[in-house]
Chains A and B, each alone.
Chain A
Amino acid sequence: GLSGKNSNESVASASSQKILRIAAAFDFKSAMEGKTLVYENLVKSDMAGNFSGWLAEKYDVSDDGLTYTFHLKKGVKFHDGSEFNAETAKISLEYAQNNDANLKKSVNSIEVIDESTLKVVLGTYLASFLNTLSSTSAPMICAADLEPAGDPKGKLSGYIGTGAFYFDEATYEKGVKAELTRFDDYWGGASKLDGVEWLYVADPTAMVVALESDEVDMIGIAEHHSSIPYVQIAELKSKGYTVETDETGRYQVIEYNCSKAPFDDVNVRMALNLAVDRELMVKTLFEDMTKASKVITAPWFVLGPDKVDENYYKFDQNRAKKMLDDAGWIDSDGDGIRDKNGEKLELKLVVPQGEANADTVSVYLQSELQKIGAKIDVLTLESSAASDMKKAGDYNMYIHHSGNMPSIPGGIGIGDKYYSTNKDWAYSFHSAELDGMIDAAFTEPNTDSRNNKIDTLWTYLHAQAPCMPLYSVLKLVACNPRVTGYKVGSNMFDMSNVRLLDMDMSK
């Protein structure tokens, strides 16, 4: 159980004051995440990629998908007391437009219809439009907070939003902590917490220690990926901590360089996809915390591959070996590594530094692929160096994770990756056929027929085995038993139901 006495003053203040202390690997101001506590957006999306209104009570889309009308909530106040209305929403969108390439490109006009109605007209169809609006790129900001005031080209100075907590510059200590206080005039009703304390803890091990020594209430919430080692979760649970996990639909995958041997051959790609026992990996190395990925991206996404056979890449090393044999890769000199035309099956796996679990995965891959006669050379590089290598096509395999809105071209993630105009993934799988399919699917405003088109697209893509899906990246949040009502969701920082119980931790 939880041991130790609680002489810490922070504990005392927490129990009387009800301040939720969360550990974060980044300083409050440099992390995007922290801003979600302060700012809100017009719309939000759930995990599967369905959008709904937020500060816009509801919205309408025209049939051609080019005109969006937002009906704004009334009675929403900014932290400085000013009203949120169509005018400020317009400025906010203009500000976002200045900071987001896609919005800048596609948005033609933003009009204030009345106090609470806003119309946005796009010049070209932008499938990711709502997605962008729901992301941190398009927060609703207060006009007065811009410098010079009201100028969307200006600099955002304070942190004045409409969220449940407000940021007070005076409490902020660079690289140490930031305190967010309850906003009493919050439109959704004041939070049950008195505040949130954002504490900088650099090291993942230290974070777990901090939780166990009751210096923070919650860890793992503030990072893009979980920083809590999976092996520690069981232990934390056994000690009585709540561990909230959820799949966000991010899959870690190995991307193949399909423009050069050996991965220009679909058989080789397929063989590798069959050769790795992902179930075993997840069960052992990841303590069964997460799920092995069976298809390229999460099937439960709105636009996900829900019609693709689950067993498409089922682990079968014999089949894998046979496919390699058929592809002409045989071990002719008996050194355990296959070769073809004098070239050995040695593959360069590029790992961008900081990619979660990459060390574990690459060691496992090495040992699995060795069994079918392929040798992996791991090269861990600082992420921008790795990215440069990727752009130059200087790799065979590249480990990375998909974004959580995977199926939207022009946005982020996988749908875009295989589109031939993409400069970032110039060496991924591309074909004219696929381009045509993507074009057809994403210019289709009609939802049903779009889904059909997308299903054929997924079937085609899986047959091509453009990448090796590994496992579903988990979002992990561990908290004190004192914290109740927290759920991992699309908005990690939704604190509306969170309470801090009065509880003596030194039981």
Chain B
Amino acid sequence: MEKMIFRRLFLGIFIMIIASLLSFVLLYLAPGNPAENILRQRTGEDPSYEEIELFLQQKDLDVPLLTQTSEWLYMALRFDFGESINTSEPVMDEFITRFKATLQLTLITLAFSIPLAFFIGVRSAANNGGTFDHVSRFFTLLAMSIPEFWLGLMLMIVFSKTLNWLPSFGYGSYLNLIMPVATLVVGYTATLSRVIRSSMLENLSQDFITTAKGNGLSQHVILIKYALRNSLGPIVTAIGSQFGHLLAGVVVVETVFSWPGIGKFLIDAVYLRDFPVIQGFVLLIAMMFVVINLITDILYTYIDPRIRYERR
């Protein structure tokens, strides 16, 4: 087990470095430079050659990109990601602020999605082919089919504009959370409940379920201790990957509701070619993915004894 974790962490570092180098290569190949973009954003005008050069000079960006990156990498290994070219704030500070917002959104979304999805998924698997199953299948598939941006806008029109119940933008109070969370919960619950249902069904058709019934165990015990327990592996993986994707930023929701999260900020940074931010964020996001994957894998081994012992 320790060996596995160790190996995975080692691979993780490798993955993180490759990911940020990859982002570097992509940026290197991309046209445009930070100075031009940032100056344009500030003034709304196309900056002149002289202005661009002066800006590059000031921000120490007039050295070759390769040197910049190697320096960056050197610093990054000590967890110093430099400063944003645009805001002149340390990248780490920017990341932490945005990450807090994103994490809040993510955790609350999952806190609603997961129990709801379990309820729907388990019930519809137990009720396979019955009314609840049909109704929930219809609604979950429908929920999966509603574009997030559309739903978000509609919620905003209804609850902010027409009813004036909820704030349409902002961050901080629980009222601000309701609509972004609702927008995300709809899709995530639907997806997750489908995963739960299908992996439950798979297990419900297994022989050991028949054994359990043969032993006279009650429906409840069979559903929870037998079917659900065995389905947890893929479910945890699904939750893990959803968690990862939520953390990496839900650009659409962040844009619609002006949520100060990672996604929108990173996209803006890409547009501005704010190199330190992009590389730093990509590295940190990759790190999150690595950690989440590791945690899901560890959980997986706790859930599924087969894996626990194969790894010995």
Contact = CB atoms under 8 A, between A and B. Distances in A.
A73 to B, nearest CB: 27
A213 B254 contact: no
A175 B170 contact: no
Contacts of A102: 50
Interface stretch (A198-206, A362-370, A430-438): A198-206
Given A213-B160, A213-B168, A384 B98 contact: no
Contact of B171 (A23, A176, A353, A382): A176
Nearest to A202: B258
B265 to A, nearest CB: 7
Interface string A169-207: 000011111000000000000000000000111110110
Interface string B157-174: 100111110011111100
B156 A385 contact: no
**Chain A interface: which size bin?**
35 or more
B71 interface: no
Interface stretch (B9-17, B38-46, B213-221, B278-286): B38-46
A210 B36 contact: no
Interface in B201-223: none
A384 B45 contact: no
A388 interface: yes
A203 B31 contact: no
Contacts of A16: none
B31 A388 contact: yes
B36 A387 contact: yes
Interface stretch (A2-10, A269-277, A292-300): A2-10
Interface size, B (range): 35 or more
Nearest to A157: B88
B258 A173 contact: no
Given A174-B94, A206-B257, A224-B43, A385 B31 contact: yes
B170 A215 contact: yes
A246 to B, nearest CB: 16
A92 to B, nearest CB: 17
Interface string A19-34: 0000100110111100
A203 B264 CA distance: 11
A484 interface: no
Contact of A215 (B31, B88, B168, B254): B168
Interface string B43-57: 111101111011000
A385 to B, nearest CB: 4
Residue among A4, A203, A212, A225 having the largest count of chain B Cβ atoms under 10 Å: A203
Contacts of A29: 87, 89
Interface in A343-386: 353, 382-385
B41 A209 contact: no
Interface in B94-126: 94, 97-98, 101
B164 A385 contact: no
B273 A384 contact: yes
B271 to A, nearest CB: 6
B67 interface: no
A384 to B, nearest CB: 2
Given A382-B32, A383-B32, A201 B46 contact: no
B33 interface: yes
Given A212-B161, A213-B160, A215-B169, A175 B260 contact: yes
Nearest to A208: B161
B98 A175 contact: yes
Contacts of B43: 32, 135-136, 224
A382 B160 contact: no
Contacts of B232: none
A400 B46 contact: yes
B58 interface: yes
Contacts of B163: 4
B191 interface: no
A6 B97 CA distance: 31
A209 B161 contact: yes
A32 B43 CA distance: 7
B296 interface: no
B231 interface: no
B76 interface: no
Contacts of A155: 88
25 contacts: A5-B164, A8-B167, A32-B42, A98-B58, A101-B54, A135-B43, A174-B97, A176-B260, A200-B258, A202-B169, A202-B255, A206-B156, A206-B256, A206-B258, A213-B167, A215-B168, A224-B44, A383-B271, A384-B33, A388-B31, A388-B32, A389-B31, A412-B45, A424-B48, A424-B49
Given A101-B51, A199-B169, A215-B168, 14 more contacts: A102-B50, A155-B88, A175-B101, A202-B169, A202-B254, A202-B264, A205-B153, A206-B256, A206-B257, A209-B168, A210-B169, A215-B170, A225-B44, A383-B32
Question: Which 10 pairs from chain A and chain B are nearest by CB?
Answer: A384-B32, A4-B164, A224-B44, A175-B260, A101-B50, A388-B31, A202-B258, A32-B42, A213-B160, A101-B54
